[in-house]
Amino acid sequence: MSLLEELQRKANEERKYPNDQEFLERKAIDVIYEMLKAKELLEKGDTRNAAGKAFQAWKDLLSCLIYLNLDKLAKDEKEKEWYLKRE
């Protein structure tokens, strides 16, 4: 199962927070775009900007994974709110 399919499956599950589907779709698109842009820049020899794009893609991917596993990470509602503010 691809990452996008996994994100879609998780987004379709019932969650406590509104707009899960939109958030995950937007982040998944951001991850793909940033990785493609990083690859393009790397092929042109622009390693510094490629590294920045790759880092942004990694950051967006981690944001998706945290959001999908928020119930496992946060101990209480206060921590959940803290995680949600950071996205």
- Please report, for the chain, the start and end positions of each structural domain, with discontinuous segments joined by +: 3-86
Q: What is the pLDDT of residue 38?
A: 93
pLDDT in tens, 27-84: 888 899 889 999 999 999 999 999 999 999 999 899 888 888 877 777 778 877 777 7
Amino acid (one-letter) located at 4: L
Q: Please give the model's pTM, rounded to 2 decimal places.
A: 0.63
Q: Residues 6 or more apart from 57 whose CB is under 8 A from it?
A: 30, 31, 34, 35, 38
Comparing 78 with 1, the larger pLDDT belongs to: 78
Q: Which of 51, 22, 24, 21 is nearest to 38 (CA)?
A: 51
